[in-house]
Amino acid sequence: MLNELKKAVCEANLSLADSGLVIDTWGNVSGIDADRRNVVIKPSGVPYKGMEPRHMVVVSLADGKVVEGDLKPSSDTATHLEIYRNFAGVGGVVHTHSLFATAWAQAQRAIPVLGTTHADYFNGPVPCTREMTADEIDRDYEANTGKVIIERFRSLNPLHLPGVLVAGHGPFAWGQSAAQAVHNAIILEHLAQLASCTLALAANATPIADALLNKHFGRKHGPGSYYGQK
């Protein structure tokens, strides 16, 4: 089972690199096993070119210790683990420093729902976390990054909002699998770019009505969905 997950996570990381969302060794993808005991994640600082399943690192969800692998796991591993521990149904997590989504994170602004393209994938604004305190940064920075994400989602549904902007840092996205998490990261970047272009053309643009938001999200997600083929 872990070998299959390593293959899937490796393919997702390569797909992320091919998407153009990452440069150099930035960004990482992880996936969790069906028993929710172990997480497979990209190794830290390793180039995407030539990356193979054998390079993936397996860590324990419980304590983050390496279970399998000769390489160090991603430096963002503790953030991924916090998301898995708190968001039921999430099977894959992605972190990037993609251009437009990171710009919104640096501006510390949520991405508003300015049109139905956004509403097709996010049932509300893409949320932005609060700034982290000096103590949170100095002590367990990566774990605390995860904790401020969880804090921001205290009254939100992470399956209806499959991504977040960490203030001053960048975006994280997730999905039911590593591949879906990459897909959602790509969508998140597109929405960030689309919102940037819209506000450049009309600085006073306002969010769409809730009725239109809920219609577009509902026709793609949930029991009443009817978009696509059954």
Tens of pLDDT, residues 69-128: 999 999 999 999 999 999 999 999 999 999 999 999 999 999 999 999 999 999 999 999
pTM: 0.96
Catalytic residue among 18, 138, 140, 227: 227
Percent of the residues in the chain that have a pLDDT greater than 70, as a whole number? 100
- Strand locations in 2-72 (E): 28-32, 38-41, 57-60, 66-68
What's the whole-number mean pLDDT along residues 123-146?
98
Mean pLDDT over the full length of the chain? 97
Q: Which amino acid is at 186?
A: I
227 an active-site residue?
yes
Residue of 120, 121, 138, 140 with catalytic role: 120
Alpha helices of the chain — where are they, by DSSP H?
Answer: 2-18, 77-86, 99-107, 116-119, 134-138, 141-152, 178-201, 210-220
Is 63 considered catalytic here?
no
Q: Mean pLDDT over residues 54-70, rounded?
A: 97
Average pLDDT over residues 135-140: 98
Asked whether the predicted pLDDT for residue 230 surpasses 80, the reply is no
Query: Per-residue pLDDT for 223 more than 90?
Result: no
Is the pLDDT at 1 greater than 90? The verdict is: no
State the Cα–Cα distance between residues 160 and 167, nearest whole angstrom: 20
CA nearest to 43, candidates 29, 61, 63: 29
Q: What pLDDT, on the 0 to 100 scale, is given for residue 210?
A: 98
